[in-house]
Amino acid sequence: MSLDVNNDIRLQRFLTAIKYIFIYISSLLQKAFLKNTSWYNSRGVTVNKTFKMAAPVAEGATCDHLPSDMAAAKSIASAAPLALRVLAECPVSKARACILTLPHGVVNTPVFMPVGTQGTLKGVTVDQLEDLGCQICLGNTYHLGMRPGPELIEKTNGLHGFMNWKRNLLTDSGGFQMVSLVELSEVTEEGVKFRSPYDGREILLTPEQSITIQNSLGSDIMMQLDDVVSSTVTGPRVEEAMRRSIRWLDRCAAANRNPHRQNLFAIIQGGLNAELRKACLDEMMKRDVAGFAIGGLSGGEEKDDFWKMVTLSTDHLPRGKPRYLMGVGYAVDLVVCVALGCDMFDCVFPTRTARFGSALVPWGSLQIKQKQYAKDFQPIDPDCQCATCKRHSRAYLHALFKSDTAAMHHITIHNISYQLTLMRSVRESIIEQRFPEFVASFMKRMFPSRQQYPGWAVDALASVNITLD
């Protein structure tokens, strides 16, 4: 966003005045409504009085141009259900720490979002997730659209009500699963055609349908349906997919029934081709979306190509809107991509690897099922404050893996804690203006020696003026 208020004091004062008037009115109305909301909230109904009344938009309105007086009033009154406030920026790199305000509460960025594909984070209760400090997690449109289906979820007041998660939810469009999980899917201009693995029916997922399902799910952030091609594909298919994704973005935006409480994110495509990426950026940024995702990466391409596409994207994406890098979750990748200017990340890796007994630690990972841990009486990480590490040893978890599923739950809790703690530390270091030092010590802890730092990571960090010695 570029509400370039620093250059217009009168406009700034006007907007501030409007803001305070709305805050005052909203507080009066909140008091009147407050006692009725607890029943609604317990049933997962979002009561967004704050957004209808006094969104703190002066600091993060989603307009991309300098608004006229009327447009300013309109943008505040239209209550975009997302506001981004940049708290701190790293003076050296492109890292930033922000507060992202969504209908179901505040999210501190940079943020790692755990993935709860089928309306549950495998083996973890929503209370445990809340206690870990998770403010936003993912649900999957394809899986939930199949089972239990959008009509049923609508009856429970959306996915929030169905799984009883009171904080924020992001749903992806279903496009990726369709292409990666389902054989013989066919992409046309209309949508993605595939055969349902559950009953063999032929199904067509269009942009409109993806949004309809996501509207029923009621997520705080919805992803557009994009035409996904693997990052290893080259040739004209890449451009075709990119152009189609732009057209599908428009169709998704038009299909959104709930623009006041559900945000739509665009997904930048273009493969590993800088020109195509730039073209996509230029086009998608003309649309008034709540945020941008960088898609089509983290799919097996060379890391050297990967980071260049990430940094190209963040170079051009607007400062005032969140940048979501999809499918990235390894610790090193997270830290580097924060340096490159990304705010939001998701990945199944930490939770999936937990179920195989792999526990994430600042110096790599421990394969708890291996014999070497059978008599190791330390916790997974002596410095970790999670419930697992406070109570259990590697030896006990090793033994438990032979008997009961609870072993997986213990490691899942630990891994989520590891990811969230990592992001919290990254964030603090940005706010305290010592992010480059944080990166240096993070790398030192993670790798036994300087020679083992991944080359792409060193290059990527160097490109944003963080040199590792």
Interface ranges with other proteins (CB under 8 A):
118-128, 131, 143, 147-148, 152, 155-156, 162-164, 374-375, 377, 387-388, 391-393, 395-396, 399-400, 402-410, 413
* Under 8 Å between Cβ of 427 and 97: yes
For residues 385 and 449, which CB has a smaller minimum distance to other proteins in the complex? 385
69 is catalytic: no
Q: How far is the CB of 212 from other proteins (least distance, A)?
A: 20
Give me the least distance between CB of 327 and other proteins, in Å please.
Answer: 22
Nearest distance from C-beta of residue 176 to other proteins, angstroms? 19
Within its chain, how far is the Cα of 426 from the centroid? 16
172, 227, 333, 343: the catalytic one is 172
Task: Return d(Cα 93, Cα 90) in angstroms, integer.
Answer: 6
Environment class of residue 134 by beta-carbon count within 10 Å: exposed (0-12), middle (13-18) or buried (19+)?
buried
Two structure tokens written together for 8: 């217009």
CA-CA-CA-CA dihedral for 324, 325, 326, 328, to nearest 10: -130
Q: Which is nearer to other proteins, 46 or 224 (CB)?
A: 46
- E strand spans, 278-348: 291-294, 323-325, 344-346
Q: At closest approach, how far in Å is the CB of 401 from other proteins?
A: 9
* Element holding 35 (H helix, E strand): helix 9-42
Please give the structure tokens belonging to residue 17: 């005045």
Report the residue number, 119 or 299, with the smaller CB distance to other proteins.
119
Catalytic residue among 220, 226, 346, 381: 346
Active-site residue flag, 381:
no
- Residue whose CB is less far from other proteins, 98 or 146: 146
Nearer to other proteins, 126 or 238 (CB): 126
Report the nearest approach of other proteins to the CB of residue 1 (Å): 38
DSSP characters over 59-108: GT---SS---HHHHHHHHHTT-S-EEEEEEE-SSSS-EEEEEEETTEEEE
Tell me the catalytic residues: 172, 346
